[in-house]
Structure formats: structure tokens, C-alpha cells
A = this chain, B = another copy of it.
Amino acid sequence: MRNLKLILAYDGTPYHGWQIQSGVLTIQGELHRALEKILNHPVTTHGSGRTDAGVHAHGQVANVATSVSMDIDALLRGVNALLPSEIRLLSIEEMSPDFHARRSAVAKSYQYHLWRSPVVPPFQYRYVHGVGYFLDQEAMDRATVQFCGEHDFTSFSATAAKSTDRVRTVYAASWERSDQEWVFRIRGNGFLQYMVRTIVGTLIEVGKGQIDPEEIGAIFLAKDRSRSGHSAPAQGLHLTEVEY
């Protein structure tokens, strides 16, 4: 059996997220359909993790097992010819049998894009969250650094998240700002459901003066989702890289 590592990019706008579900359009569902047509056998793919409805990816990773001996380049071209244009297979690599896209991952990086002028251009609106009003960037930066390090992220993840161990390590979190766009970058060993969007939503409330940057420590300790900010909308979130 060959164990293939697939790297994918997708515009999440038209999909109900990564995870295959019957009756709705999903990225994994479209990927299975294309792979099965080319490989001519049923497939199971393991993604590095789910992305929610509307979330984009520039480097989502999945692995798939096949005994078909087709050349990697021909497979890449064939699958891309069958996938919708919103989903592209960027590369395929043959891995050892123990590689698993989720279990082998050691770090993930996300970006969140805020558009900082009141009119979001038609070429950007699918990929950014428009926030035209004043945000206190100094207060946001003081809050941002407090997300780095090892923490129990219960207060910053979906109440319904399945994980019982909610301790994660954030290696880096920062903002890169231009007049038009503010980009939040975060890299960590793993992320709970809605974690990035809840952190960004909280940072926006800090920027608006609704949450004091000094409160972040207490919000962590409370382990209570109701203490943090609203989740920022899915469309601004981009999974950029999964590291192994």
C-alpha cells in the first residue's frame, strides 16, 4: 500500500466545511469523489483537522492509502481536472506507512484577515472580515501576547468542542498591519474548535474597549466560554500551514 500525503488549497465559501457529510457539499466529499474516479476504488482520507464552513485553506494536509501505482504527476493533474476550481490539490508526496495527517502534525498556522476600510472590495469580501471602525491597536497587542504559551483554552473554544484536554501551546501570535488590512497570525501545536475565531473576536472587543487587555488572564482562569468575545466570522479565517 502507498501512503500519499496531499496538500490542498480551497476557497471555503461554497462548502459546509472540510468534514464529509451526506447531503451537503464538503471539501473532503469533493476530494473523495475525484480520488475515487481516478483511483477506481473507495477511499478514506485523514485530514490534519476539520475546517469549519466558510473557512479557507492554503495548505490543508490529508493522507490517503492506495495500491494503485499511478505516477504522482498524472494523479495530481487527474484529480485537479475533476475537482471544482475552488479546491486545488497543490502537491502529492509518497510517505512512510506511519505518516498520518492528524496524528503526525506537530504545528499548525492560521491567519485571520480584517479589512480596515468601510468598503470591502468585491475581490476581497469572500476572504476577509470587514471592520471599518476604530480599533485600539496598542491594547490589542498587549492582549495578543497573552495568548502565547501553554494554556487551558476552554474559555476560547466552542462550548460543544469534543476535546476533554483543552490545554494547547501557542508558539506565536501577532498582527501585521497595513492601512487596508490587518492580518492576525497564530502558530501552535493544535487548535480547539472555534479557538482562532474566538481569540480574534476577543481581540476585536479589546480593540473596541469592551474587554480590558488586563482581563485576559482572568478569562483563561475562569474556563468559561461566556467570558470571552464573540467568535469572529468564518470567512476571515485561513489555515495556512500544517507542519510535521
**Interface residue ranges of A89-127 to B (CB < 8 Å):** 89-90, 118-123, 125-127
Q: Which residues of A contact B (CB under 8 A)?
A: 9-11, 56, 58, 77, 80, 85-90, 118-123, 125-127
Is B119 touching A85 in the complex (CB atoms < 8 A)?
no
Residue of B nearest to A85 (CB): B125
Let me know if A122 and B10 touch, CB within 8 A: yes
Q: Is the CB of A123 within 8 A of B80?
A: no
CA of A123 to CA of B87, assembled, Å: 9
Q: Which residues of B contact A125 (CB under 8 A)?
A: 85-86
A212 to B55, CA, bound (A): 47
Residues of B within 8 A of A11 (CB): 122-123
Offer 25 A-B interface pairs, CB within 8 angstroms, sorted by A: A9-B121, A9-B122, A9-B123, A10-B122, A11-B122, A11-B123, A56-B122, A56-B123, A58-B121, A77-B118, A80-B119, A85-B120, A85-B122, A85-B125, A85-B126, A86-B122, A86-B125, A87-B122, A88-B119, A88-B120, A88-B121, A88-B122, A89-B119, A90-B119, A123-B127
Cα of A148 to Cα of B100 in the assembled complex, Å? 57
Tally of this chain's copies: 2
Task: Tell me the smallest distance from the CB of A120 to a CB of chain B, in Å.
Answer: 7
Cα separation A80 to B123 with both chains bound (whole Å): 15
Inter-chain contacts of A87 with B (CB < 8 A) = 122
- Contacting residues, chain B, for A123 (C-beta < 8 A): 9, 11, 56, 127
Chain B min CB distance to A115 (Å): 11
Give min CB distance, A149 to chain B, whole Å: 32
Closest 10 CB pairs of A and B: A11-B122, A85-B125, A86-B122, A10-B122, A88-B119, A9-B122, A88-B122, A9-B121, A11-B123, A88-B121
**Which residue of B has the minimal Cβ distance to A13?**
B122
When chains A and B are docked, how far (Å) is the Cα of A118 from the Cα of B80? 10
* B residues in contact with A80, CB < 8 Å: 119
Contacts of A58 in B (CB 8 A): 121
CA–CA, A125 to B85, complex, Å?
Answer: 7
Q: Which residues of B contact A10 (CB under 8 A)?
A: 122
* Apart from A9-B122, A85-B126, A86-B125: 5 A-B pairs, beta carbons within 8 A: A9-B123, A56-B123, A58-B121, A88-B121, A88-B122
Most B C-beta atoms less than 10 A away, residue of A80, A90, A118, A119? A119
Question: Would you give the shortest CB distance from A205 to chain B, in whole angstroms?
Answer: 24
